[in-house]
Amino acid sequence: EAQVTQNPRYLITVTGKKLTVTCSQNMNHEYMSWYRQDPGLGLRQIYYSMNVEVTDKGDVPEGYKVSRKEKRNFPLILESPSPNQTSLYFCASTFLASNEQFFGPGTRLTVL
């Protein structure tokens, strides 16, 4: 089944404790992206990658890191999480020649 998977789905952590949210897609998509969803703000792009070893900042990159060592994986790293990073996070992927983005099921993160 073609899909984007994220792990974990739910995470509660404390301020300053490094964490990684994994994202993997099995559709051979070149483009991958991370969004955060907050009430009243919609989805805002954090980082994106147009191919292996090519990443760039989105609209709200502060406090986040990403890497793209393999085409299928695009982990989101929070080196020192803070309460304002409490949010619902989505990973998405697509072909560069396509406009339709496929989203993962989301990761709900709470930072205490």
Strand pairing partners for 57? 47
65 touches other proteins by CB under 8 A? no
Q: Is 5 in the site for other proteins (CB under 8 A)?
A: no
Using the rule CB under 8 A, which residue among 43, 55, 72, 77 binds other proteins? 43
- 32 with 26: CB under 8 angstroms? no
CA pair distance 65, 76, nearest whole angstrom: 6
Residues 73-92 within binding reach of other proteins (CB under 8 A): 90, 92
50: contact with other proteins by CB under 8 A: yes
Going by the DSSP 8-state scheme, the letter that residue 32 receives in this structure is E
Total binding residues for other proteins by CB under 8 A? 27
Q: Order the strands of the 65-66 sheet from edge to edge.
A: 4-7, 19-25, 76-78, 65-66
Q: Which residues here bind other proteins, judged by CB under 8 A?
A: 4, 31, 33, 35, 40-45, 48, 50, 56, 58, 90, 92, 94, 96, 98-106
